[in-house]
Amino acid sequence: MNKEINSTRLKKHYRSQEVTLLVLMILALPLFGVVYLYYNSGNLHWNLPEIPDFFKGLLAGLGYGLFMGQYFIFRDTLKKARQEEDFEEKIIFFLDASKKRFFYLFGISLISTVGLLFYQTAWFIILFALTLVFFSLAKVSPERTKRLLRLSKEEGEILRLISRPD
């Protein structure tokens, strides 16, 4: 393990990843919430255009396909991160992969929001619920990172220190 660890660089990446997650969640939740309330109210009419059912299947397929795809993409990237020799590069690789995963999840939440808005089917609610679960499960924590990257106890302690607020 490289004894000269740039903790400032790691802290910067860690904070960036946390901020990205929060911003994406702050954007996704209210958008879906407004559409969900519109869906449940029954008495609001936004005079939305009729879109052919073909696009409903396309949106649902794209949403669920991306949902499964983000898992496999993250898993493959995780394998590459484990192969990194340098601790710092391993952590940065993992944090970047997690950030990329959050953008996929955000895109999926937008697809489910648009799908619910125009088609008002429960499949889009289920897709959004699954996306929220993965937003929560994918949040980076020192313990989760240590487990996924199979880090030593010493590396896990360094990661715990990096994740602490200043």
Model confidence pLDDT, tens digit, residues 69-86: 999 999 999 999 999 989
Q: Determine, yes or no, domain membership for 95.
A: yes
CA neighbours within 13 Å on the CB side: how many for 23?
Answer: 8
Total of domains in the chain: 1
Assigned token pair, 91: 């952590």
pLDDT at position 44 is 61
Q: Determine, yes or no, domain membership for 46.
A: no
Tell me: pLDDT of 6 over 90: no
> Which pLDDT band holds residue 1 (cuts at 50, 70, 90)?
very low
Q: How far is CA 13 from CA 57, 78, 105, 122, in A?
A: 38, 17, 19, 37
CA–CA distance, 107 with 93 (Å, rounded to integer): 21
Higher pLDDT, 41 or 109: 109
CA–CA distance, 151 with 136 (Å, rounded to integer): 22
Q: Determine, yes or no, domain membership for 132.
A: yes
Range of the domain at 71: 7-26+63-163
Assigned token pair, 44: 């609001």
Q: Looking at residues 2-14, what average pLDDT do you find?
A: 79
pLDDT at position 3 is 52
pLDDT at position 93 is 93
Q: Looking at residues 13-17, what average pLDDT do you find?
A: 92
pLDDT at position 38 is 86
Average pLDDT score, the chain:
91
pLDDT at position 165 is 82
Q: Which amino acid is at 107?
A: G
Q: Determine, yes or no, domain membership for 90.
A: yes
Tell me: pLDDT of 25 over 60: yes
Q: Determine, yes or no, domain membership for 103.
A: yes
- CB-based contact 10:151 (threshold 8 Å): no
Q: Determine, yes or no, domain membership for 154.
A: yes
Q: Determine, yes or no, domain membership for 85.
A: yes
